[in-house]
Amino acid sequence: MKWVMDKYRWILETVLRSDQQKGFKILPRRWVVERTFGWFNWCRRLNKDYEVLPATSETMIRVAMIRLMLRRLA
């Protein structure tokens, strides 16, 4: 988390479930991350982990997000 703060000036917050909680409860802002991972499943190359290098996987994620943003702008 310190690396992200130093490099990008983002503040990360880990959302954890309390130990006393029983049953299902929606955690704040977690749905945003899960929705984004769901969007990645629409891209064939991101559906399965075909890539060998992490840089290639990162590039494919960027391409997928650019595609999503362009579709929303058009």
Cα angle for residues 22, 25, 30 (degrees, 5° grid): 130
Among the listed residues 49, 41, 43, 38, the one whose alpha carbon sits nearest the alpha carbon of residue 63: 43
On whether the CB atoms of residues 27 and 19 are closer than 8 A, the answer is no
pTM (2 d.p.): 0.56
| pLDDT on residue 23 | 80
Instruction: Give the tens place of pLDDT for each residue, 44-65.
Output: 777 777 778 888 888 888 998 8
**Total residue length of the chain:** 74
| pLDDT on residue 17 | 76
Does position 4 have pLDDT exceeding 80, yes or no?
yes
Confidence of residue 70 (pLDDT cuts 50, 70, 90): very high
| pLDDT on residue 66 | 92
